[in-house]
Structure 1
Amino acid sequence: MTANAPAAWEASSDAKTQGLRSDLDLLLYIRHFENALLELFSAGELHGTTHTCLGQEHVPVALASLLRAEDFLFSNHRGHGHYLSRFRDGAGLLAEIMGREGGVCHGVGGSQHLLREGFLSTGVQGESLPVATGVALHLKRHHPGAVSIAFIGDGTWGEGAVYEALNMAALWELPVVVVVENNGIAQSTPTTQHMAGTVAGRAAAFGLPHRRIDTPDVEEMRRLVRDDLARVRVTNIPVVLEFCVPRLGPHSKGDDTRSPRELAAARTRDWYQYYRDAHPLLVEEIDRTQRAAVHAVVDEVRTRPPARLPTR
């Protein structure tokens, strides 16, 4: 920065750097958290199953600063990043997944079924959107300006409940934001083999606006959807936001049926590669810090006793 640079420009530059650092802090924390879960599962320290959001972390990170405390967020089976972006509570989430004391739901919900104020996740495809629609009706009546956000994947469009919910949300003009994390594959079936038409076409069938976002840049993602969210808050007209993302990890645990070539193609779209190329020193610094932070959480949660339901 030169000595005679305008103060406003310098302040703007500093704010941009701080924003980038904040985004990378959360992005890399979620990345290492998910990698740690796969390691813990391989070591036999997790019960049940776990579905990571590797490659999709930038979607909830981009949306986090656009949400309000009174908004309600409905997550899905691949929802650890949604929860961490909302609450920054790695210890509580890991304790829940490991069935240890201090878990979000006392070890009962596990990886997929989390309940916290303004947040609910489910592993049942399509289940969240009808509930999100009902909550949106409540918000419209009692908390004007708040929105109900439902995260779904491309595979969830095969569920009839999704269309019933969208019909009701559009007809009643409810503040529903449908966030589609389209990773191009439903478990082991490519989207091209299970979906005729497009997500945009499905939104158009209900007269709803749709936006397709295909960038790894978090700030650019925010810029693209900021007005869409603001419009829902004022008009109560639902919106469908389709984020095109790669799924870097397996469907769950180690069950990835994709070829090495397909996996390599997915990695070329990883936000990590994008930021590492653009800001190598900053990414290296924050990557090291967040890796250590996650390791510390794992070490601490491991020492906790098994979770017990609270006594009445």
Structure 2
Amino acid sequence: MSSTVLAPGAAGTDERLTGVPGEPLAHRRYRRMRFIRRFEETLLQLFEEGALNGTTHACIGQEADAVAVTEHLTDGDHIFSNHRCHGHYLAHSGDALGLMAEIMGKEAGVCRGMGGSQHICAPGFKSNGVQGGIVPNAAGIAMANQLEGNGAVSVVFIGDGTLGEGVVYETLNMAALWKLPLLVVCEDNRWAQSTPVGANLAGDMAARFSAFGVPVREVDSTDVEELSTIAGEEVAAVRSGDGPRVLLIHTYRLCHHSKSDDERPQDEIDAHWLVEPLVVHGRRLGDADQLRIDDEVETALSEVVATARALA
């Protein structure tokens, strides 16, 4: 097994992060989710050490969403993400070193250290910390794909808090009218920062999309296999030319909104730790395989951090 950690932008990644050739799919999915989890936890540790500046928004607890959706995308498809983008980017590219270097402000980062944690620009991937601002961008790429007739789709990840932004609804209106190949993945965290969704979102969440005639697939799950089956069907429907669709995932962010701000009840958080993605999917693996993958991920991540620290 190769232990080479490739430079940012290189064609390929360390297989310990993305899946060993011939590895069972269940193992590969666990590996990818485990790496995203440990990447995020490591970032939080680096902030505690003072090794990083600014802020970051971790996706701990939502790794299954990123893995399930991205495994159905191909070259030419585009992903648009938000301030909580690391899991989406890692699942899409496997470029852990490029992302780590970027967050560290290094020249070798994905955006030469100028985009930081939230603003990533890479082949097939764009993220922006402005709530809702990425949705019209995703629709624009979807329209370009439609005009070119290349069969590519545009996927945009938003959260429940983004449903308060008017530009989302302007975009849905146009996307529905023009039948754009756009999949909106709404990750309902149940909390917008530290405000429960019931305190800032009126009406039914799914109805906001269906009002534009956009089909909504709603699922409450942390199971990567279940989510992958559903995501595959939704991506295929969009790719077939049926127009935009919405995948509404009721999920849960196990960590704070951004490093330390969290006013949620601890017993609620504790209950969700019992059904988080690694626990649910980890039951499908034997203890030995799970420990082996954990060790391989830990070694690979340590190399990524050490390499990124040494970069100019």
TM-score by length of 1: 0.90
Larger helix percent: 1
Structure 2 residue 118 is matched with structure 1 residue 112: yes
The whole-number CA distance in structure 2 between the counterparts of 1:213 and 1:184 is 13
**How far 1:129 moved relative to its partner?**
0.5
Equivalent AA in structure 2 for residue 65 of structure 1:
E
The whole-number CA distance in structure 2 between the counterparts of 1:47 and 1:143 is 43
**1:82 aligns to what SS in structure 2?**
helix
Mind listing any 5+ residue stretches in structure 2 that lack a counterpart? 1-20
Listed one character per residue, the Cα deviations across residues 178-220 of structure 1 (whole Å, up to 9, x for unaligned) are: 0011110111111111111222111110011100122222222
- Residue of structure 1 in register with 2:42 after alignment: 36
- Residue of structure 2 in register with 1:227 after alignment: 233
Question: Which residues in structure 2 correspond to 1:1-312 (within 5 Å)?
Answer: 18-281=24-287, 282-305=289-312
The whole-number CA distance in structure 2 between the counterparts of 1:182 and 1:273 is 20
The whole-number CA distance in structure 1 between the counterparts of 2:198 and 2:292 is 39
**How far 1:270 moved relative to its partner?**
0.6
Structure 1 stretches (4+) deviating beyond 4 angstroms? none
**Change in CA separation of 1:263 and 1:197 when aligned onto 2, cut-off 3 Å:** same
- Residue of structure 2 in register with 1:8 after alignment: none
Equivalent AA in structure 2 for residue 23 of structure 1:
R
**Change in CA separation of 1:227 and 1:259 when aligned onto 2, cut-off 3 Å:** closer
TM-score by length of 2: 0.90
Equivalent AA in structure 2 for residue 174 of structure 1:
L
The whole-number CA distance in structure 1 between the counterparts of 2:74 and 2:254 is 30
The whole-number CA distance in structure 1 between the counterparts of 2:196 and 2:45 is 26
**How far 1:285 moved relative to its partner?**
2.1
**How far 1:91 moved relative to its partner?**
0.4
Q: Do the aligned residues in 1 keep the contact of 2:224 with 2:281 (CA within 8 Å)?
A: no
Equivalent AA in structure 2 for residue 47 of structure 1:
N
Q: Do the aligned residues in 2 keep the contact of 1:246 with 1:267 (CA within 8 Å)?
A: no
**How far 1:263 moved relative to its partner?**
1.5
Bigger drift between 285-294 and 48-57 goes to: 285-294
The whole-number CA distance in structure 2 between the counterparts of 1:240 and 1:159 is 16
Higher CA-based Rg: 1
Bigger drift between 195-204 and 87-96 goes to: 195-204
Listed one character per residue, the Cα deviations across residues 267-288 of structure 1 (whole Å, up to 9, x for unaligned) are: 1231122133443513222122
Bigger drift between 15-24 and 162-171 goes to: 15-24
Equivalent AA in structure 2 for residue 55 of structure 1:
G
The whole-number CA distance in structure 2 between the counterparts of 1:41 and 1:102 is 20
> RMSD of aligned C-alpha atoms?
1.6
Q: Do the aligned residues in 1 keep the contact of 2:81 with 2:128 (CA within 8 Å)?
A: yes
- Residue of structure 2 in register with 1:310 after alignment: none
Sequence identity, in percent? Answer: 45
Q: Do the aligned residues in 2 keep the contact of 1:184 with 1:190 (CA within 8 Å)?
A: yes
**1:25 aligns to what SS in structure 2?**
helix
Listed one character per residue, the Cα deviations across residues 33-52 of structure 1 (whole Å, up to 9, x for unaligned) are: 00000000011111111001
The whole-number CA distance in structure 2 between the counterparts of 1:91 and 1:17 is 23
Listed one character per residue, the Cα deviations across residues 22-43 of structure 1 (whole Å, up to 9, x for unaligned) are: 1111111111100000000011
Q: Do the aligned residues in 1 keep the contact of 2:160 with 2:189 (CA within 8 Å)?
A: yes
**Change in CA separation of 1:277 and 1:231 when aligned onto 2, cut-off 3 Å:** closer
**Change in CA separation of 1:16 and 1:191 when aligned onto 2, cut-off 3 Å:** farther
**2:24 aligns to what SS in structure 1?**
helix
**1:151 aligns to what SS in structure 2?**
strand
Aligned residue pairs total 291
